[in-house]
A and B are shown apart, each in its own frame.
Chain A
Amino acid sequence: MTVSACLTTSSRLLHRLLWEARAAHVVWRRELLHSVRNPARLLIALAQPVVYLLVLGTGFAAMLPIHGGYLTYLFPGVLMMAVQTPAIAIGASIAVDREAGFLRETLVAPVHRVSLLAGRCAGGSTVATFQGVLVLGLAGPAHIPYAPKLMIELVAEMALLAFAMTAFVTLLAVVIAPAPTFHAILGFTLTPMTFLSGALFPMGGLPGWLTALMVANPLTYVVDLLRRTIAPYLVPQEPTAGHSPILMELTVTAAVGLLSLLLAALRLARPR
């Protein structure tokens, strides 16, 4: 009796989990279909990192005498931007969708918000990682070897970063209610954050308050993580600045992503 009751409970739970997983899967698939059907959006998102690499790369190379060449220095930052643009776009679209779109209709469906958001973040990360991979193709011109192990490591890291960024932006979009306010804040903070991440120039010798901003900037760690993954493969070995270990940075990134996802789902589940 109790055994069979236990079995039905667990089979019901399994059924429920399958349902939620399938829901997350279709949301993911929808996100990919959207990207495939809007190739222009993909190209625009791709243009930014490429322009940075070509224009800044050649322009600053002469001005900033950096050990190992400026293009090589710039590359991790360009990878970050390649992932960041689509991750932010998809995370941010939740602000609009929530008021007038797909999210409103899915909110009445009997599925958990976590599944919906997880599917969405997975979709955002897939698209973002794909863009990162395309930009990764430019490693050669930046004098970075196409070592298979390095490529795999970088793709895996980009996927994790894409997930964390999508989830974090989603959380911000859900908490900062009116969509225009959110977009204004995003536009205002994004550029300084990119500049203060060490993506474009080394951050040594800055005044104290700027260093403080840099330390508080999550993008600093993203760029640092990518840079230190690449460093061992460079021909003149770059001296790696010894702060937090790679494993810890990866763990923190994953934790930020998961926590953002859960908080965003909780916030969405609360009826107004």
Chain B
Amino acid sequence: MRPGTIHTRSLRKSYQGMRAVCGISLNVEAGEMFGFLGPNGAGKSTTISMLCTLLRPSGGRALVAGIDVRDDPKEVRRRIGLVFQEPTVDTDLTVREYLAFHATLYGLGKHDARRRVAEAADLVGLTGLGDSLVRTLSDSMRRLLEIARGLLHEPGVLFLDEPTVGLNPQARAEIWEHLRELRHRRAITVFLTTHYLEEAEYCDHIAMVDRGRVVADDSPAALKRLIGTDRIHLRTGDDQAAAATLSDYLGLASAWGPDGLYVQVTDAATAIPWVCTVLRVPVHSIEVRRPSLDEVFLRYTGRTLDGAARSGVSP
């Protein structure tokens, strides 16, 4: 029995002929903080719904905590906690009533329920707010309350679908602080989806997904190492001539798009003086980009993550 693992092979889901998820294979080890990263509409929520037994896969297999989601959805549900993307808290109940309600649904007796409710509230820093009405809590506290709800039955895997979407940066930081604290105190696998790159950096393992497919799957550090080099973004008076010059004099390959030239170099700091020396066309701006997850995504999909809509980069 491996309580916190998730394995999928060629997991697929179609809605009326539209393919939302087209063959996703993932291996998440127990205790990992796993980030599922991709633009809106990439198939993240659909995948999470299948893993949580809310949607039936059209094909492929998925094992959550060692159990097939199709064979025994009830057993899977008992071992996972799930927090939805849309806020679902009951604003007319108090924090304690809300948590006790869910503890009962998970079959905890009165005594156990009381203890777990206190523990879960403590884990997310809501101790002392037991008698407050949920509607009086801030957005980030409500999110934390939902996370506490997901932890009540001590699941092996906690699924968080876009846990910080719609929150301000301060609230997001607060959520992350508590998530890291949680991993410190509990042996739990966290499977989260996000389209914020800086959040993916906090994960042990990420998979980038685009149009229903996984395009990259490794630790953030390893993925960045793959890109390996710095990138110089140049805006010049004549990009084509500049590209030819760079290739002739410095042996640098460059790619050009509507917003300028991109050149891969090992060390931007030493390369820039050379570039400026050889170029005979006016240079409007030079910008250095260090390896980032955004660059990784760009490399695999030809688009940046936050501006996935701003596609068609190459002419």
Contacts and interface: CB of A to CB of B under 8 A. Distances in A.
Interface of A: 19, 22-23, 25-26, 29-30, 33-34, 37-38, 100-102, 104-111, 271-272
B77 A38 contact: no
B107 A19 contact: yes
A109 B106 contact: yes
Given A23-B105, A26-B100, 17 more contacts: A22-B107, A23-B104, A26-B104, A29-B101, A100-B86, A100-B88, A101-B90, A102-B88, A105-B82, A105-B88, A106-B102, A108-B52, A108-B77, A109-B106, A110-B77, A110-B105, A271-B53
A185 B253 CA distance: 64
B92 A37 contact: yes
A72 to B, nearest CB: 39
Contacts of A26: 100-101, 104-105
Given A34-B92, A101-B88, A271-B55, A108 B107 contact: no
Given A22-B104, A23-B104, A271-B53, A33 B84 contact: no
18 contacts: A23-B107, A26-B100, A26-B104, A30-B101, A33-B97, A34-B92, A34-B93, A37-B133, A100-B86, A101-B90, A102-B88, A105-B88, A107-B54, A108-B82, A109-B102, A110-B74, A110-B77, A272-B56
Contacts of A104: 84, 86, 88
B78 interface: yes
Nearest 5 pairs of A and B residues by beta carbon? A109-B105, A26-B104, A37-B92, A271-B56, A19-B107
B303 interface: no
A129 B88 CA distance: 28
Interface in B214-259: none
Contacts of A107: 54
Q: Which of A38, A100, A271 has the most CB of B within 10 A?
A: A271
A29 B86 CA distance: 24
B183 to A, nearest CB: 22
Contact of A110 (B54, B55, B86, B107): B107
Contact of B90 (A102, A108, A110): A102
Contact of B93 (A19, A33, A101, A105): A33
B163 to A, nearest CB: 14
B116 interface: no
Interface in B185-236: none
Nearest to A16: B107
B149 interface: yes
Given A23-B104, A26-B101, A271-B53, A109 B88 contact: no
A37 B90 CA distance: 12
A107 B52 CA distance: 10
B59 to A, nearest CB: 15
Nearest to B110: A22
A115 B133 CA distance: 26
Interface string B97-124: 1001110111100000000000000000
Nearest to B104: A26
A105 B92 CA distance: 16
B158 to A, nearest CB: 12
Contacts of B56: 271-272
A34 B92 CA distance: 6
Contacts of B52: 108
Q: Which of A25, A107, A108, A110 has the most CB of B within 10 A?
A: A108
A38 B92 contact: yes
A197 to B, nearest CB: 33
A225 to B, nearest CB: 34
B211 to A, nearest CB: 22
B54 A271 contact: yes
A30 B100 CA distance: 11
A19 B270 CA distance: 69
Interface string B30-63: 0000000000000000000000111110000000
A108 to B, nearest CB: 5
A190 B191 CA distance: 46
Contacts of A29: 101
Contacts of B54: 107-108, 271
Contacts of A34: 90, 92-93
A109 B77 CA distance: 6
B112 to A, nearest CB: 12
